[in-house]
Structure 1
Amino acid sequence: MSRTLTITVPDSLAAELDQRVASGAYASRSTAVVDGLRELFSREEALDSWLRDEVGPAYDELREDPTRALSPETVRAHIAGIHAQSASGA
C-alpha cells in the first residue's frame, strides 16, 4: 500500500534528484526518495543496534571495572596504526 506525500526540498537537492532520475539511476523521484528513506532507516537501526548491543555493554563494563579502560595515548597509538595500515593499502 502506498500513500502520497508532498515534500519541499532545497533547489540543490531537487536538481540532484532530477539529475539522478534523468541518468537512469532511479526510475522516478518517488523511487529515489523511497530508496533514500529506506537507507536512512537502515542506518538508524544499525546505529541503534550498535549502541544497544556494543557501546552500552562496554560502558557498563567500564563503570564496573574502570581499570579496564585504555589510556588516551594507547587509543591514539591504536588509531594511528589503523590509519597507517589503511594508508599503505594493507
Structure 2
Amino acid sequence: MRTTQQMSITLPPEMAQMVKTKVASGEYATESEVIRDGLRALAARDKALERWLVEEVVPTLKDFDAHPENLADPEDVRGRLKARVSALTAKSSRSA
C-alpha cells in the first residue's frame, strides 16, 4: 500500500520558480519535498493559531464577559497610546 498520494498542482510562475530554486540549491531533493515542508509549516502555523485562540483569546473574552467593569475606556487607551508615541518620538529625536 502506498504511503503517499500523487497530485497535480498549479502554481503561479513566482512560486514555481521558488520551488525550482530550492531544489536547484540542494536545499531539497525534489519539488515534492519543498511542497511537503511548506504544508508542514502551514499546519504548524494553524496549530499555533488554534492554541493561541483557545489558551488566550477565549479566556480573555470570558473574563471580559464576567467582569465588564475591568474593560478599558477607549478614550483612556487612546490617550495612553498618544502619550507613549509622543515619548518614543521625543526619545528618537533626542538620540538622532
Instruction: Please indicate the TM-score interval, normalised by the length of the shorter structure.
Output: 0.7 to 0.9
In structure 2, the CA distance between the partners of 1:70 and 1:39, relative to structure 1 (3 Å rule), is: same
* Counterpart-to-counterpart distance in 1, 2:8 and 2:28: 19
Note the residue ranges of structure 1 that are not aligned, 5 or more in a row: 84-90
- Amino acid of the residue matched to residue 9 of structure 2? I
User: Could you list the per-position Cα deviations for residues 24-49 of structure 1 after superposition, in whole angstroms to 9, with x for gaps in the alignment?
Assistant: 11111000100000110110011011
Q: Which residue of 1 aligns with 2:94?
A: none
Is 1:61 the counterpart of 2:53? The answer is: no
* Counterpart-to-counterpart distance in 2, 1:75 and 1:52: 29
Which of 76, 79, 82 matches 2:81? Answer: 76
In structure 2, the CA distance between the partners of 1:75 and 1:15, relative to structure 1 (3 Å rule), is: farther
Which of 18, 21, 42 matches 2:20? Answer: 18
* Counterpart-to-counterpart distance in 1, 2:60 and 2:26: 45
Note the residue ranges of structure 2 that are not aligned, 5 or more in a row: 89-96
Q: Which residue of 2 aligns with 1:44?
A: 46
Report the Cα offset of residue 76 of structure 1.
3.3
Q: CA RMSD in A?
A: 2.3
Greater CA drift, 65-74 or 55-64: 65-74
User: Could you list the per-position Cα deviations for residues 6-63 of structure 1 after superposition, in whole angstroms to 9, with x for gaps in the alignment?
Assistant: 1111011001110111011111100010000011011001101110111001011011
In structure 2, the CA distance between the partners of 1:45 and 1:21, relative to structure 1 (3 Å rule), is: same
**How many equivalent pairs are there?**
81
- Amino acid of the residue matched to residue 73 of structure 1? R
